[in-house]
């Protein structure tokens, strides 16, 4: 049976990226102070091995394309075991579980969890914007879920926004407006199931915490623009 070398290369690269994403998310969660040792396991070693395996496969395939037919066959034969292991995708599936577990730990580490519309309503009714204690430095997550989804599996979000501010209360309220993030604005306007997660911190730690959250939730479901995002492999 003919072997499609491009498919082999793409499959191996994807598996390596997924494993690498798991390692990055878990490391980000740990730096945020979340205990994720239980979900970390050996994923970092697996990620390193997967990335190295992907490079070997890519190099072999690259050489194979420029060789005679028997040279291509030899390259495919030598890499067959690695390709089969990645195509099985069990490693990628396990890595995805670790990503979700680490993200769930981050969600559960929030000091406050509440529907976004409830927070905005409280602010609108308050004479003093600092009444609820959120007029302080910190980061926050705004995540959209399926309507009626209340099982608290927060890692199963449809879209997410990472925000930070020296004055969180003002920043959070402005995010679901025309002047804020367009995706959050649309979710809020059309009454989607949108939750708010608040992470207060010292002002000196604000930028580092935001970068860690961006790294941990990076992927195609992240609302933040490409300039704020650190990569696009996490949710493929």
Question: Comparing 73 with 29, which gets the higher pLDDT?
Answer: 29
pLDDT of res. 132: 55
Element (H, E) at 163: strand 159-165
pLDDT (tens digit per residue) in 174-202: 999 999 999 999 999 999 999 999 999 99
C-alpha 83 chain-centroid distance: 26
Question: CA neighbours within 13 Å on the CB side: how many for 103?
Answer: 27
Spatial CB neighbours of 159, under 8 Å, sequence gap ≥ 6: 143, 144, 183, 187, 221, 222, 223
Helix axes 5-31, 69-88, angle to 10 degrees: 40
Q: What is the pLDDT of residues 83-112, one digit of tens each?
A: 455 455 567 777 788 888 889 999 998 999
Backbone φ, ψ for residue 36 (5° rounding): -120, 25
Q: Annotate 105-148 with DSSP letters as a single string.
A: HHHHT-SEEEEHHHHHHHHHH-SSTTTTS--SSEEEEEEEE-TT
Alpha carbons 85 and 201: distance in angstroms, whole number? 43
21-58 pLDDT per residue, tens:
666 676 766 676 666 555 555 555 555 555 555 554 44
pTM higher than 0.85: no
What average pLDDT does the structure give for the chain? 72
């Amino acid at each position: 049976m003919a072997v499609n070398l491009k498919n082999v290369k793409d499959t191996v690269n994807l598996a390596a990226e997924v494993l690498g994403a798991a390692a990055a998310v878990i490391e980000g969660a740990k730096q945020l102070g979340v205990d994720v040792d239980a979900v970390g396991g050996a994923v970092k070693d697996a990620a390193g091995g997967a990335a190295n395996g992907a490079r070997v496969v890519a190099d072999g395939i690259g050489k194979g394309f420029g060789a005679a037919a028997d040279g291509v066959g030899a390259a495919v034969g030598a890499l067959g075991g690695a390709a089969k292991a990645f195509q099985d995708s069990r490693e990628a599936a396990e890595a995805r579980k670790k990503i979700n577990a680490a993200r769930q730990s981050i969600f559960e580490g929030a000091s406050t969890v509440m529907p976004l519309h409830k927070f905005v309503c409280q602010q609108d009714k308050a004479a003093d914007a600092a009444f609820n204690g959120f007029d302080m430095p910190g980061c926050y997550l705004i995540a959209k879920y399926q309507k009626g989804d209340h099982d608290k599996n927060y890692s199963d979000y449809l879209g997410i926004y990472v925000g930070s501010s020296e004055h969180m209360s003002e920043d959070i309220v402005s995010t679901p407006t025309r002047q804020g993030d367009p995706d959050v604005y649309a979710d809020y306007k059309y009454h989607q199931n949108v939750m708010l997660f608040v992470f207060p911190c010292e002002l000196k730690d604000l930028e580092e915490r935001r970068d860690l959250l961006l790294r941990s939730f990076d992927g195609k479901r992240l609302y933040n623009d490409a300039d704020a995002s650190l990569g696009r492999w996490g949710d493929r």
